[in-house]
Amino acid sequence: MNKFPEMFTLPLAKYVDKAMDWLLINLEGFFDFIGLIILKVVMAFESVFLFVPWFIIVLLIGIAGWKLIGSLKTGIFFMVLMVVIGFFQYWDLAMQTLALVISSVVFALLVGLPMGIVMARSNRAEKIMKPLLDGMQTMPSFVYLIPALMFFGMGKVPAMFATIIYAVPPVIRLTNVGIREVDVEALEAAKAFGATRKQILFDVQLPLAKPSIMVGINQTTMMALSMVVIGSMIGAKGLGMEVLLAIGRIEVGRGFEAGISIVFLAIIIDRITHSFSVKKPKAQQKNDVTQ
């Protein structure tokens, strides 16, 4: 009596396998097309990052830290972090990782922002999508590698696909929350002036929801970066591959250097993306620069 009855079973795995087989047979051309687009985008970013001289990228990151965050010290700190990555001889791998992360975030935003807008404008859509997003965020990240491998094989494309699926929920949720929390009086004023639904969305709701949306983009970016090591298991190159090799060979120092390089990238990306969600007073910006 203490065991669950074996006669009651739900063969969900069998149905999922049948669905995957149907998709692979009937939508092979579609997945090939999607894979080609993903590959071209990530290779374009990677080519740019590897083509531009390292000192220019370091300088641009330093300027971004200075201008966007409003602190010259922060800009110099970012430059130091990038130079340390270079000292580890991981510059090219860091640029490959950066290309994967940025490409994943671009695709995640192309999918996530429209879905967040749909959720915000339809209570029914919100009720349907919330459980799906809960499942996507709580599902172990390794599970996403299985369909990615089946659809796209080994390489950068399946790693990108798995990263997009894993990282997209935050931007969907926070876009929805940001739009729904826009002041009702602002919406009523726009309607009183005869604004259309499109004008209300693009001229009122999205600008007022920008801080929340940017937090979502920040979280999506960080989740994409967290998939770097997992993506390396299916052929994605970059710093994650170094961590994976260090684990396989039990090389603690090598793993530490690659791991801390990922941490440095995460710090830079987090601070820069977070700065877009914070409106900083001009007087404070001047004080930071003079310090």
If you write DSSP's letter for every residue of 212-232 in order, what string do you get? HHHHHHHHHHHHHHHTHHHHH
Is the pLDDT at 279 greater than 70, yes or no? no
Residue tagged 């009937």 (tokens):
26
Structure-token pair, residue 240: 């994650």
pLDDT for res 7: 73
Separation between Cα atoms, residue 203 and residue 196, nearest integer Å: 10
Separation between Cα atoms, residue 278 and residue 281, nearest integer Å: 10
Separation between Cα atoms, residue 240 and residue 229, nearest integer Å: 4
Q: What is the residue-averaged pLDDT of the chain?
A: 86
Separation between Cα atoms, residue 136 and residue 164, nearest integer Å: 11
Q: What is the pLDDT of residues 72-107, one digit of tens each?
A: 999 999 999 999 999 999 999 999 999 999 999 999
Q: Are 119 and 141 in contact (CB under 8 A)?
A: no
Maximum pairwise Cα distance, the chain? 74
Q: φ and ψ at 208, to 5 degrees? A: -75, -25
Q: Are 97 and 238 in contact (CB under 8 A)?
A: yes
Q: Are 276 and 221 in contact (CB under 8 A)?
A: no
Q: What is the pLDDT of residues 187-223, one digit of tens each?
A: 888 888 888 888 888 888 888 898 899 999 999 999 8
Band (pLDDT 50/70/90 cuts) for residue 29 is confident
8-17, 54-63, 209-218: lowest mean pLDDT where?
8-17
Separation between Cα atoms, residue 49 and residue 47, nearest integer Å: 6
Q: How far is CA 128 from CA 117, 119, 137, 166, 205, in A?
A: 14, 9, 15, 18, 22
Separation between Cα atoms, residue 226 and residue 214, nearest integer Å: 18
Structural domain spans, the chain: 16-290
Q: What share of the chain has pLDDT > 70, as a percent?
A: 95
Separation between Cα atoms, residue 210 and residue 188, nearest integer Å: 19
**Would you put residue 281 in left (φ > 0), alpha (ψ -120 to 50) or beta?**
beta
Q: Does domain 16-290 have CATH number 1.10.3720.10?
A: yes
